[in-house]
Structure 1
């Protein structure tokens, strides 16, 4: 009312009441009793913005990127006037660019430089020129060594100036002419001054450059059409699905149409173990969608095929087909070699028809935008010799929008619908992998951080700030007080739920959408879930018990799905990691509540199953049983082991008592004796004696 009397109004959506003292954010700043500070998220946003500018603006020259970066940084500093730490190597270079005509604290610049790592050639050249102008040869040498990741090696060795000059001369020659001889000379100088770790690195580089040549590729044609279905244990099937299956809630089924063309039908259900077994037998041919709806993927596949134009020209000519397959295999090997040169182990699969797939696997779901950048680097580094072979990337930029993620890849060890030939992985010699289970277990996985590091090294981009691309969600749940085991399991397993709860605790604020997301999970976890929801909402400044209870009373019939959550929180789930791996069960969709249901404890019976609303109670009961099958088997196996343990103790005690009876009967010289419940008789057997009670 007072504001209205002054002719002022308050925007309710941009205002909130907060308890003070405490910590809250307003207009980009974090406020506490100690004053206002720049929140970490604001620094991360700056790094993320600089990073994406450097990566995506490929048409800009290096100088233009520095200029544009300076504009971004100046705008940020005009708003946040507080001093901050330099967050990345490209921010560092922008600062050098902005201060090149000013007096700067050189000691500060030197100390900050040692905290950062550069892996990009263009950056190195810029930094070297800067230090040359400042007449700091030690820093010039540092830039070379940092680029090759040897700056932190042999730090206890002091290199004399004469050897430093020799090293600088050889480094400069190498970057001017890219000579293998310079690598060997650098190795020798480091060895002479007893920097043996650095020398070892350059010896390896010299060897790799010598061997980095195109090899002659010989492949054996797949002539047998006899089916040899892949047979894996249940454990290995789960491992297969964990590595090869992309989007969880749907898959593609392939068939041959009447016109002889492949037809793909999207199946609106999870890809289960039974579907996969049919795929292995050749009863069905299925593919997986590469990316999820939050723009993340678990693998990269390079599809190398004989072009359709060539295929039409060599129809029904097996010799020609084999000749062009040799060319496709050579390209696949070239990709594998280039990836190995980057430090990535790739795997080649014979697709069963007109080419090969080259697979790279990620440890966690990686953001597609970075995978696309990585693909751009590969495309630049690996050149095709002619147009007889086509190359397609999965995921590719055409399908990068999460809403239109329709790009699918046929799963390995199935049968091609046209040729009925089985696809299979090849070893280093391009021979079929023999022990498939061992092969799957030993597949190398790479983190998104490792992927970004490679992008920085091999593109015109800077080293990426890895913290800016990931959100570490606080795992400490102590401030939430006592909670049931089911609630704890969901918070520990689901990064998004933990993120939203921690946000409520730390900031005292949740959007309406965020409140609904928590409601649609914990509201379906019985009385304990409702109590916990009230507890989380009580952290927010405008919490009212009656309002929260009102929403609980009219909650939807089924819990929210992981698919819906990823769609609503695309950036957060991509950054904090949405890596839950639920077993595929028919009539059941992935949801955070499954973490608690799979625990199989008594309290989990109150949790709403994430199934279709139209499903019958009988089918729902079967879903619940299938979800808990591992827990049930584990419990039964545990009981059997415990009973066997008890049985061993009982058998041991029976043997002891029988020996005592045997001693008594021997001393008495009898084979039978009357007892209260009958006649105890000792009978001779091949193994000793048996004891019988005759009534």
Structure 2
């Protein structure tokens, strides 16, 4: 055998020797000769560790053939650690662990192999080997979850920063003194980072963003709605609770409808304090003055309809001036330092931070080219009807007119359309206004069919009991505890009531005799309804 000048073997000679050794060991194992001798040779750690990865892989196969499974696993693990790019080593390691039914080790190796064997093949192995075994599923959760969750969390935080993007070079930290009932913000003079968002989400700190960018544009805008101080007192009267509930339902529906008409889609968040934020996101930066004008139009449409809520638009400035940074808004999903409450998105059914972060992927930014930008002097009185509302408005024009023209009645209509239960007073207002319209039966059945306790027989019965004339504006304001202004009609009316908003309204269209004539059948229907309820309660 040829040697180098110093007496050592050349690389080609060493390779030839190892190949010859492997061939002879394999031959002996296959023939069943000198099994123990083969195992001793294979067990020489100083020998197999000098081999290349491919030969080590063959050495592991021979160890399996010789019955030394522990050695085979040791070699495969060594190859995985030192030559992770060798895909076959991962596959053989996974296959052997699967045959041996070593569940915990199998899941751990699968987790390590994900980066090297390809996503598609990894998922195939994971689904094939794990999905049918409950114990493996549990082990998988222990091993995979930390990796997957960390990766998912980091991606969600990047999505969070992409959506809630304010001024480029600074943000603000919230402080609060609960003993004094005071809170505020201090500027942080650097860009917000992923670590800052993690602190915010964990509740360790709470941050806000300045909406105006350095060039007086915005990527996100907000309509801020807070409960007015008079309705924050505790305990609240039941009538005040009804007002808040009714106006909140009206607010959510009306802001969404008006926004969609203008090419926008708000994301509603409970702020963690005393109200709600309607967030608007844009694919590219828009002038602050332009979007402020759009949101002010929405505000004007509904502000006078509300008594329990106060509305503000952010940003409040069209341009930056002086040394100020403009107004800021608290970032969502954090804890309000004064109240100790965490904010959350109403569109997500789960309150956990993880679920709320996943909800971010459902949010779509508006294309500025599709937004109906208008000046602050845009027409105030125009009734906005989104295409999704068009069919409803065409089928029930009387309801559409009343919803947008009569604030207290509009709140009730929006509330019941949202599936919310009505109070006794709210039902009274509906019946004693809409009940006097020519299509009263159709309209009221349509509205009450949205309620969980809808009883068609009861609707017919109550309609049959109507007498006199529609409820007047003063009486409705009193019943609803509504403190807004009274409507102004084109001509002075001795007895103003909501139905005067409807074109062609004629009090002569009320035919009392028809209602009396239907009383007997209505009573029969009521008896049937009562018998059904009694049968249900037995």
Structure whose CA Rg is larger: 2
User: TM-score if structure 2 supplies the norm length?
Assistant: 0.38
User: TM-score if structure 1 supplies the norm length?
Assistant: 0.30
